[in-house]
Amino acid sequence: MNFRFKKNNNAPDFWLEYLRLFDKKPQKLSPGIRLIALDTETTGFDYEADRILSIGAVAVTNNAINVSDQLEIYLKQEVFNVDTVEIHGIRKNNDFEKVTEIAALQQFVKYIGNATLIAHHANFDRKMINSALQRHGLGSLKNTFLDTAVLFRNTKHLVYLNDQNKRYSLDELCNDLKISKSDRHTASGDAFITAMAFLKIVARLKKDKKINFEELSRLRTHLE
């Protein structure tokens, strides 16, 4: 926990490089900019005790998912939670090429750069990644996030909004937006589904509520 205050001084180069990207004002949202949809699979829901098993991410530019611009990393595990293996299907030892946590983080921040990130229940992914960063004496992610759960809530008519705090699961999104659930519960698969959900939500918002892409920023999640 104390590592957080040591930041920057003897942080590795990749991290300093990452931080430098945020010196300038963040890019305004527009269809042409690179957004990254991501998902993390973890051993559990405890930010401190549980670990990231894999990270999947794919870029969205000009309303298209760019399959060539993607990231799929599997992490070596020290902590292993038998309960979640069933969901993710990722065993501690199988034949994926796996990297250490720090190597994964390095690849990840290099990949995302200062792009705006899209995730479903973004706070969870953000916190899991931040915990991992902090374990290595690095600071938190600086990127802004769009949360598909929040965006999706905005597509709903006011009538249904009495339940303001309803938490839409990714499965509910898939059903509502008619997205195929293949590869659900793999980081890459969920990242792809999230990206697809994002595109569909944006189209809906634009049509029903006349919210432009540029205006999405006001729906950016306020993360604590």
Partner 1 sequence: MKNTIAERIQDFLKQFPPFDSLKREERLSISTQIRVLYVEKGEYIFRQDNPCHDAFYIVREGAIGLYRNFDEEQNLVDVCDVGDLFGLRIMIIKKKYRMSARADEESIVYAIPAKVFEPFIEKNKEVNKFLLGTFAAHARNYYTETEKGQRIDNTISIETAQDLSALRSISYRKKPVTCLPGDIVEEIAKKMTKKKISCIIAVDEHKHPVGIITDRDLRANVVTGKFPVKSHVTEIMVSPVITYAKKLTVAEAQIALIKHDISHLCITKDGTPNSKLIGILSNHDLLVSFGNNPSVLIKETKRVKKPQKLRYIRKQVAQLLTTYLEQDIPTGHILNFISEINDALVIRTVELALKEMPAPPPVTFGFLVLGSQGRREQLLLTDQDNAIVFEDVKEAEYESTQAYFLALANKITKGLHTIGYAYCPAEMMASNPRWCMSLSKWESQFNDWMTTPTEEGTLLSSIFFDFQHIYGNSTMANRLSDVVFEGVNKSNRFLGLLGVSALQKPSPLGFFKQFLVEQNGEHKDTFDIKTRAMMVLIDAARILTLYHNIKGVNNTLRRYEKLAELEPNNAALFESCAKAFRVLIKFRTRQGLLHNDSGRFIKLNTLSKKDKLRLKRCFRPIRDIQEVLRIRFQLKNLM
Nearer to partner 1, 60 or 149 (CB): 60
- Rule CB under 8 A: say whether 103 interacts with partner 1: no
Torsion-angle region of 192 (φ positive above 0: left; ψ -120 to 50: alpha; else: beta): alpha
- Rule CB under 8 A: say whether 68 interacts with partner 1: yes
By CB under 8 A, which span of 2-10, 81-89, 167-175, 198-206 interacts with partner 1? 198-206
- Rule CB under 8 A: say whether 114 interacts with partner 1: no
Q: 8, 30, 63, 175: which one contacts partner 1 (CB under 8 A)?
A: 63
Pairing of strands 116-119, 35-42: parallel
- Rule CB under 8 A: say whether 71 interacts with partner 1: yes
- Rule CB under 8 A: say whether 106 interacts with partner 1: no
Q: 70, 114, 116, 155: which one contacts partner 1 (CB under 8 A)?
A: 70
Give the separation between CA 19 and CA 139, rounded to whole angstroms.
9
- Rule CB under 8 A: say whether 164 interacts with partner 1: no
Mind giving me the DSSP string for 4-52?
GGGTTTS--HHHHHHHHTTSSPPPPP-TTS-EEEEEEEES-S-TTT--E
Nearer to partner 1, 138 or 196 (CB): 196
H helices of 21-164, where?
Answer: 82-88, 101-112, 122-135, 148-155
- What are the beta bridge partners of residue 70? 58
Give the separation between CA 93 and CA 224, rounded to whole angstroms.
35
Phi, psi for 72 (deg, rounded to 5): -145, 105
Nearer to partner 1, 41 or 147 (CB): 41
Nearer to partner 1, 3 or 96 (CB): 96
Which residue's entry shows tokens 């909004």? 161
What does the per-residue mask of binding to partner 1 show for 82-101, with x meaning CB under 8 A? --------------xx----
Give the separation between CA 112 and CA 69, rounded to whole angstroms.
10
Q: 14, 26, 50, 72: which one contacts partner 1 (CB under 8 A)?
A: 72
What does the per-residue mask of binding to partner 1 show for 21-60, with x meaning CB under 8 A? -----------------------------------x-x--
- Taking residue 93's Cβ as centre, other Cβ atoms within 10 Å add up to 9
Q: Which residues lie near partner 1 (CB under 8 A)?
A: 56, 58, 63-68, 70-72, 74, 96-97, 178, 180, 182-183, 186, 188-189, 192, 195-196, 199-200, 203, 207
